[in-house]
Amino acid sequence: MRNWKFIAFQAKRGRSIKIGDPVDQLALIIATGFGVGFIPFAPGTFGSILGLLIAYFLISVFSPDVILLQNSIIIVSVIITILGIWASTRAEKIFDQKDAGQIVLDEVCGQLISFLFIAPYLRRLGGQWIWWGIAGFILFRALDILKPYPLKELEQVRGGLGVMLDDIIAGLYAAVILSIALLLITD
């Protein structure tokens, strides 16, 4: 077995973190959105931008087939959720902090989920769907920051599940609000 040296580097607010094995390294890479969480200002917003870029990619590739698009958003969201619960649980121990600001995979996942119901409207929206993407981004960020009921309470759930759960529900709230707005405006 290899003898892994501890890797130490600066986290936010000058706290040093120690990563002891490759599994912790992998968890940290995943939980921080491939390092996006280490951006020193607004890491959650940058995590949401990463989620928006993933949604943009999926919509660009699968928009001709509404069912395939919606299923791809669901599948990718489920994969990110499973990875996020695991990686966030480990990252909380590495950062020695509950829901550390550097953990942004929850924002990535919640932002992607906010576009869950946009697929049926893409044909009607045409090129304007990008504006609805921006609206979905703003809506998710607002819900994630304001934390309407029960999002604040869900943060109390322990481990990676608690890290992910409030953003998943915020994403579902945003998806419902966005789809109602699309239904009202595009008909």
d(CA 15, CA 5): 19
Helix H or strand E segment including 169: helix 159-186
Helix H or strand E segment including 95: helix 66-95
- For the chain, 187 residues long, give each residue's pLDDT as a single digit of tens: 444 444 444 444 446 677 778 999 999 999 999 999 999 999 999 999 999 999 999 998 998 898 999 999 999 999 999 999 999 999 999 988 888 899 999 999 999 999 999 888 887 787 788 888 899 999 999 999 998 888 878 878 888 999 999 999 999 999 999 999 988 987 6
φ/ψ of 15, rounded to 5, equals -75, 135
**Closest by CA position to 133, among listed 79, 182, 65:** 182
| Helix, coil or strand: residue 16 | strand
Q: Please tell me the pTM assigned to this model.
A: 0.88
- The count of residues in the chain is 187
